[in-house]
Structure 1
Amino acid sequence: MHDSVAVSPRNVKGSLKRRDEMALKVSNLMKRDGYAFQVPETFTPESIEAPKPNIWAPLTVNETKSAYTILKDKFNLTASENATLYDNYVVWITLINPNKTDALDFLEGNKTAPLRYARAVIFFGGEDFAKEDEPIGYWQTYQVGPLLAENQDIEVVKMDWAFTKSHFSYMQGYRDNLRWNLDFAFYEELFQTDMVKELSEDLIGVPAYGLENSTMEVWNCDPLIFDKETNSLFSWGTVFLDNKWSAGDILPTGLFIKTNVTGRDVSDFSVVQWVYNNVAYNTTEEFYEAWKSEEFVKLPQAPQEQEWTNPGRAEGAETRPLDEKTSPIVVEPEGRRWQFSEEDRYFTWMDWSFYISYSRDGGVLFFDVKFKGERILYELALQEAIAEYAGDDPFQANTAYLDTSYGWGNNAYGLIPGYDCPANAVYFNSTWNTDGKNHYQNNTYCAYEAVEDYPITRHTSRKYVSVAKAPSFNIRFVATIGNYDYNFNYKFFMDGTLKVSVRAAGFIQGAYYNPETGGDFGYKIQDVLSGSFHDHVINFKADFDIGGTENRVTNVALKAANRTFPWDPNTVYNTKIKERSIYDIETSLNLADTGVLLVESANQNNTWGNPKAYRIEGSLGHRIAEKAVKLAENANWADHDLHFTRQKDTEYTSSGVFNANSVFEPQVNFSDFLDEESIDGEDVVCWFNLALHHLPNTQDIPGTIFTTAESNFVMTPYNYFDSEQSRDTRQQFLFLTNEKSFDFFGTELQDTLYSINQLDVNSFNYEGIEFGKDTTNLPSN
Structure 2
Amino acid sequence: MHFPTFTYLALTSVAISSAVPPLGYDRRVLRDIFDKRENNETTSSCLTEAALTTKAPKINPWAGLAPEENLAVWNLLHDPASGLNLTDPTEAKLTDNYVFWVDALHTNKSDVLPYLDEGAPKPSKYARAIIFEGGKAEPDSQEYMIGPLPVSAETTIEKLDYMYNGGSGGSVPFNARYFDGPRSTATDPLIASIMSNISDITAALFQGAAYYGSTDERSNLTLTSGTPLSFDGTSAFRSIMFRFPGPASYMTPLDFFLLIDCTGTDASLYFLKGFVTNEKFFPTIAELRAAFEAGELAMEYDQTLDADWALVDYKPELGVRDLEERLAPSTLEIGGKRYKLDEENRYVEYMGWSFYLTFSRTLGIMFYDIKFKGERILYELSMQEATAQYGGNQPKAANTVYHDTYYQLGTEMGSLLEGFDCPWGSTFWNITYSSYNTTEVNTNSICIFETDMNFPLARHRTGASNDYGFSNLGSVKGAALIVRAIATVGNYDYMFDYSFHMDGSLEVIVRASGYLQSSFYYPDQGKFGPRIQQATQGSLHDHIVTYKADFDILGTPNSLQVSELKAVNQSQPWFPELGTFEQMEMDIHNMQEEQQFNYAANNQAMYVVLNPNATNAWGEKRGYRIVPGRSDIHLSTLNSPWSLKNSEFAKSHLAVTRQHDNEPFANSVQNINLPWKPQQDFSKFFDGECVDGEDLVVWFNLGMHHFTRSEDVPVTLYTEAYSSIVFAPQNFFDRAQDGDLLNRRWVQIDDEGKMTFEDYGVGLDVCPIVLEEPTELLGGVGEL
Equivalent residue, structure 1, for 2:120 = 111
Equivalent residue, structure 2, for 1:352 = 353
Contact 1:35 1:423 in 2 (8 A): no
Equivalent residue, structure 2, for 1:714 = 726
Equivalent residue, structure 2, for 1:613 = 623
Establish whether residue 733 from structure 1 lines up as the match of residue 745 from structure 2.
Answer: yes
Aligned residue runs from structure 1 range 600-639, under 5 A: 600-618=610-628, 619=630, 620-639=632-651
Equivalent residue, structure 2, for 1:69 = 75
| Aligned partner letter, 1:58 | G
1:330/1:298 CA distance change after superposition, 3 Å: closer
Deviations along 1:558-615, one digit per CA (max 9) or x if unpaired, are: 1212233354466434321122111001111112345111111121011111110111
1:448/1:183 CA distance change after superposition, 3 Å: farther
Between the aligned partners of 2:32 and 2:662, the Cα distance in structure 1 is 42
Establish whether residue 54 from structure 1 lines up as the match of residue 52 from structure 2.
Answer: no
Equivalent residue, structure 2, for 1:19 = none
Equivalent residue, structure 1, for 2:207 = 205
| Aligned partner letter, 2:34 | A
Deviations along 1:300-342, one digit per CA (max 9) or x if unpaired, are: 2122115422321114443211110111122222311111111
1:295/1:574 CA distance change after superposition, 3 Å: closer
Q: Give the CA deviation at 1:65.
A: 2.3
Contact 1:206 1:214 in 2 (8 A): no
Aligned residue runs from structure 1 range 375-394, under 5 A: 375-394=376-395
Q: Secondary structure at the match of 1:657?
A: coil
| Aligned partner letter, 2:205 | L
Q: TM-score normalised to the size of structure 2? A: 0.89
Equivalent residue, structure 2, for 1:18 = none
Equivalent residue, structure 1, for 2:466 = none
Equivalent residue, structure 2, for 1:543 = 550
Between the aligned partners of 1:148 and 1:710, the Cα distance in structure 2 is 42
Establish whether residue 671 from structure 1 lines up as the match of residue 683 from structure 2.
Answer: yes
Identity of aligned residues (%): 33
Q: Secondary structure at the match of 1:616?
A: strand
Q: Give the CA deviation at 1:762.
A: 5.5
- 584-593 or 648-657: bigger deviation: 584-593
Aligned residue runs from structure 1 range 440-519, under 5 A: 440-462=441-463, 463-516=471-524, 518-519=525-526
Equivalent residue, structure 2, for 1:146 = 148
Moved over 6 A (4+): 758-761, 763-768
Q: Secondary structure at the match of 1:162?
A: coil
Contact 1:30 1:765 in 2 (8 A): no
Q: Give the CA deviation at 1:109.
A: 1.9
Deviations along 1:400-459, one digit per CA (max 9) or x if unpaired, are: 111110011111121111111111211110111133432111011110001111111100
Contact 1:254 1:276 in 2 (8 A): yes
Q: Secondary structure at the match of 2:600?
A: helix
Between the aligned partners of 1:708 and 1:139, the Cα distance in structure 2 is 40
Q: Give the CA deviation at 1:752.
A: 2.6
Establish whether residue 232 from structure 1 lines up as the match of residue 230 from structure 2.
Answer: no
Equivalent residue, structure 2, for 1:216 = 221
Equivalent residue, structure 1, for 2:711 = 699
1:148/1:301 CA distance change after superposition, 3 Å: same
Match of 2:659 among 647, 658, 664: 647
Contact 1:29 1:762 in 2 (8 A): no
| Aligned partner letter, 2:207 | G
Contact 1:216 1:241 in 2 (8 A): yes
Between the aligned partners of 1:686 and 1:757, the Cα distance in structure 2 is 50
Contact 2:277 2:297 in 1 (8 A): no
Structure 2 unmatched ranges of 5 or more:
1-22, 38-42, 464-470
Between the aligned partners of 1:184 and 1:28, the Cα distance in structure 2 is 39
Between the aligned partners of 2:778 and 2:407, the Cα distance in structure 1 is 31
Deviations along 1:339-365, one digit per CA (max 9) or x if unpaired, are: 111110101110011000011011111
Establish whether residue 97 from structure 1 lines up as the match of residue 97 from structure 2.
Answer: no
Equivalent residue, structure 2, for 1:156 = 157
Contact 1:560 1:577 in 2 (8 A): yes
Between the aligned partners of 2:402 and 2:235, the Cα distance in structure 1 is 21
| Aligned partner letter, 2:141 | W
Equivalent residue, structure 2, for 1:597 = 607
Contact 1:242 1:304 in 2 (8 A): no
Establish whether residue 527 from structure 1 lines up as the match of residue 542 from structure 2.
Answer: no
1:495/1:759 CA distance change after superposition, 3 Å: farther
Q: Secondary structure at the match of 1:708?
A: coil
Structure 1 unmatched ranges of 5 or more:
1-24, 769-781
Contact 2:658 2:697 in 1 (8 A): yes
Contact 1:142 1:159 in 2 (8 A): yes
| Aligned partner letter, 1:602 | P
Match of 1:752 among 761, 767, 770: 767
| Aligned partner letter, 1:649 | D
Contact 1:590 1:621 in 2 (8 A): no
1:31/1:262 CA distance change after superposition, 3 Å: farther
- 487-496 or 104-113: bigger deviation: 104-113
| Aligned partner letter, 2:347 | Y
Q: Secondary structure at the match of 1:634?
A: coil
Equivalent residue, structure 1, for 2:257 = 256
Between the aligned partners of 1:669 and 1:177, the Cα distance in structure 2 is 28
Q: Secondary structure at the match of 2:567?
A: strand
Equivalent residue, structure 2, for 1:776 = none
Equivalent residue, structure 1, for 2:8 = none
- 548-557 or 293-302: bigger deviation: 293-302
Q: Give the CA deviation at 1:662.
A: 1.8
Equivalent residue, structure 2, for 1:416 = 417
Match of 1:121 among 130, 153, 157: 130
1:27/1:757 CA distance change after superposition, 3 Å: closer
1:329/1:543 CA distance change after superposition, 3 Å: same
Equivalent residue, structure 2, for 1:581 = 589
- 594-603 or 721-730: bigger deviation: 594-603
Between the aligned partners of 2:227 and 2:57, the Cα distance in structure 1 is 45
Q: Secondary structure at the match of 1:106?
A: helix
Between the aligned partners of 1:720 and 1:474, the Cα distance in structure 2 is 23
1:435/1:45 CA distance change after superposition, 3 Å: closer
Contact 2:240 2:258 in 1 (8 A): yes
Contact 2:445 2:485 in 1 (8 A): yes
Q: TM-score normalised to the size of structure 1? A: 0.89
Between the aligned partners of 1:720 and 1:187, the Cα distance in structure 2 is 62
Deviations along 1:97-116, one digit per CA (max 9) or x if unpaired, are: 22112211111122110011
Deviations along 1:363-389, one digit per CA (max 9) or x if unpaired, are: 111000111101111000111111100
Q: Secondary structure at the match of 2:662?
A: coil
Between the aligned partners of 2:294 and 2:550, the Cα distance in structure 1 is 63
Q: Give the CA deviation at 1:28.
A: 4.2
Let me know the Cα RMSD of the aligned residues.
2.3
Between the aligned partners of 2:611 and 2:657, the Cα distance in structure 1 is 15
Contact 1:34 1:422 in 2 (8 A): no
Q: Give the CA deviation at 1:733.
A: 0.7
1:762/1:330 CA distance change after superposition, 3 Å: farther
Between the aligned partners of 1:758 and 1:112, the Cα distance in structure 2 is 54
Establish whether residue 337 from structure 1 lines up as the match of residue 338 from structure 2.
Answer: yes
Q: Give the CA deviation at 1:86.
A: 2.3
Deviations along 1:218-247, one digit per CA (max 9) or x if unpaired, are: 11121013477xx4322111111123xx11
Between the aligned partners of 2:772 and 2:510, the Cα distance in structure 1 is 31
1:519/1:334 CA distance change after superposition, 3 Å: closer
Q: Secondary structure at the match of 2:250?
A: helix
1:715/1:310 CA distance change after superposition, 3 Å: same
Between the aligned partners of 1:371 and 1:171, the Cα distance in structure 2 is 47
Aligned length: 729
| Aligned partner letter, 1:284 | I
1:752/1:99 CA distance change after superposition, 3 Å: same
Between the aligned partners of 1:716 and 1:628, the Cα distance in structure 2 is 35
Equivalent residue, structure 2, for 1:36 = 34
